[in-house]
Structure 1
């Protein structure tokens, strides 16, 4: 089962979230530099808001959503502190959204998932619901990018195999155009110190972890 809202709230309220590194993931910034992001942009599981803030500052029309009210509050404070007060965030349950009627989010040309998909690795039902929500929210011809922790190396967090991404987007309406190794950066906190005991942090306390980066097109 995936974690409850209260568990996610606690990670932000107590500053124990290992995914908060104070900046966007380099892999996501590389997508933007490569011209892979355009149109309306959705940042599901936006967390501390780093990607929504960075893309808003670059004049993209982007919305960050997260299940956790504490995450959204954190992201709004973060945006104000970084001089991007117009960055937009909403509390949204992406899994529940799949089976709801009359949602008001609209559709998006680009969806950038940084470290949300892998949260559902052991919850087949939630993962399927999440993928349905992505299909509902992504414009035909639009793209979903998934940056997820990889099980190819030791690390912390929910690490997955490439096969889980392939299988989850194998149904009608999707085409995986690219799935390749990349990197994800986290930090060591009291919540993951045991898992991370063999990892070496840099001078800023960040650790580089193996990841997958997938480019997935909605075909219909």
Structure 2
């Protein structure tokens, strides 16, 4: 997987489908990211919740189970099918998932706005990792259109401070993207939990990571408030 391939993949469903169909994605850890669960425990999740790029759906499942009105969306039909199966297996069939392109919410009636919290886990960094500041700003503008005044956007993004398994960003990328109509409250170092499978073992070793099993990757945890 090259950075060029990955950057093209952000609007190509087939790029992501095979990872869920084959179960090779390094973010399939069998539960929510601890950093996101901690946000909920701290009272930083509220109202209607949107999880863009929800992938396996772990966070939407968690929020639904805890009583939030939550929606998870993803570009990949295979990801949504995976998330729905997982929700049923976990005994949370009410968890709601839909296929959507977050850069084109006008195509999806269920993305008509009114969200109070957005939880972005490893989606934003794909828009900001390749020197295309316009893509990151366009995404931030979409989130602004989907949220109520005072809404919080939480971003857990891969950090370039240490070797990782995919695209990564510097600490300045979030503040540069969220300007007009936003207040960046914090960007702090964090961790992203992953799992190295046999299929990506060679790439992991080349990047100085373990050849197999659980891995803790450098991340940024950003909190942005809509004005």
TM exceeds 0.5?
yes
Residue pairs, 1:178-217, within 5 angstroms: 178-197=186-205, 198-200=208-210, 205-217=213-225
Q: Give the counterpart of 1:32 among 22, 27, 40.
A: 40
Other-structure match for 1:83: 91
Structure 2 alignment gaps of length 5 or more: 1-6
C-alpha separation between the residues in 1 aligned to 2:34 and 2:210?
Answer: 19
C-alpha separation between the residues in 1 aligned to 2:73 and 2:20?
Answer: 15
Other-structure match for 2:120: 113
* Aligned-partner SS, 1:95: coil
Shift of 1:155: 1.8
Other-structure match for 1:133: 142
C-alpha separation between the residues in 1 aligned to 2:145 and 2:43?
Answer: 24
TM-align CA RMSD: 1.6
C-alpha separation between the residues in 2 aligned to 1:51 and 1:201?
Answer: 27
Shift of 1:112: 0.4
Q: How many residues align?
A: 214
* Aligned-partner SS, 2:168: coil
* Aligned-partner SS, 2:216: strand
C-alpha separation between the residues in 1 aligned to 2:98 and 2:74?
Answer: 7
Q: Looking at secondary structure, tell me which structure has more helix per residue.
A: 2
TM-score by length of 1: 0.92
Moved more, 64-73 or 129-138: 129-138
* Aligned-partner SS, 1:214: strand
* Distance verdict in 2 for CA 1:188–1:101, change over 3 Å: closer
Other-structure match for 1:150: 159
C-alpha separation between the residues in 2 aligned to 1:196 and 1:126?
Answer: 28
TM-score by length of 2: 0.89
Other-structure match for 1:103: 109
- Asked whether the 8 Å contact 2:121–2:155 carries over to 1, the reply is yes
Other-structure match for 1:162: 171
